[in-house]
Amino acid sequence: MKTRRIVITGGPGTGKTTLITQLEASGEAVLHEISRQVTAEAQQQGITQLFLEDPTLFSSKLLEGRLAQFKEAENFTDSHLFYDRGLPDVTAYMHYLDTPYEAYFDETCQQHRYDQVFLLPPWEAIYQQDNERYESFNQALAIFQYLRKAYEGYGYAPIEVPTGTVPWRMAFIKDHLIK
């Protein structure tokens, strides 16, 4: 049986990481977000915010890392593998920043398909900024729209996960999983 690749995405501060962590705690197979790792590595090299200073390099590193994660599904025997963000997140953010990118970004997104996408909307009550999350809530609202447009542009029909408690959101996702 093939492991189904399930993306959980949304703008910054929507509860993605908390949800992914709880899915993992409940026994689900997950792969965590890598953008904080890429940001932290750049900061160790003296680059305060690689995403802003060199968005193309940052995005290339993300695309490479997310492609490696995509391929990791081949090593899983679980029925579902949950990803904290997917490949199309990279192009969504590039469009948000109005940053041009090479055709291989789109080609990578088109050639490596997830089975299902869940999209978490902006949620002001839980939104917090920190060293890696510098966007305002209004920017998070805009990013959400870019994410929706990117996934739809690659032929996905993202399922929007309403706000609510973590257990409720987990149940919502599990109730809507393709079998």
**Each residue's pLDDT tens digit, 16-41:** 889 999 999 999 999 998 887 877 77
pTM of the model: 0.90
Helix residue spans in the chain (DSSP H): 16-25, 35-44, 50-53, 55-72, 87-96, 103-111, 137-153, 166-176
Q: What is the pLDDT of residue 133?
A: 54
Tally of domains within the chain: 1
C-alpha torsion sign, points 127, 161, 132, 81: positive
179 within a domain of the structure (yes/no): no
User: Is position 136 within any domain?
Assistant: yes
Measured CA to CA, the distance from residue 91 to residue 81 in angstroms comes to 22
Assigned domain for 75 exists: yes
pLDDT at 79: 92
pLDDT digits (tens, 9 = 90+) for 65-115: 999 999 998 999 999 999 999 999 999 999 998 999 999 999 999 999 999
Q: Which residue has the higher pLDDT, 48 or 104?
A: 104
Give the CA distances from residue 87 to residues 6, 70, 101, 123, in Å, rounded to whole numbers and listed in that order.
12, 8, 14, 23
Residue 151 resides in a domain: yes
Domain annotation covers residue 20: yes
CATH of the domain at 103: 3.40.50.300
Q: Identity (one letter) of the amino acid at 179?
A: K
Residue 32: domain span:
4-174
Beta partners for residue 95, in sequence order: none
Domain for residue 49, yes or no? Answer: yes
- Backbone Cα Rg of the chain: 15
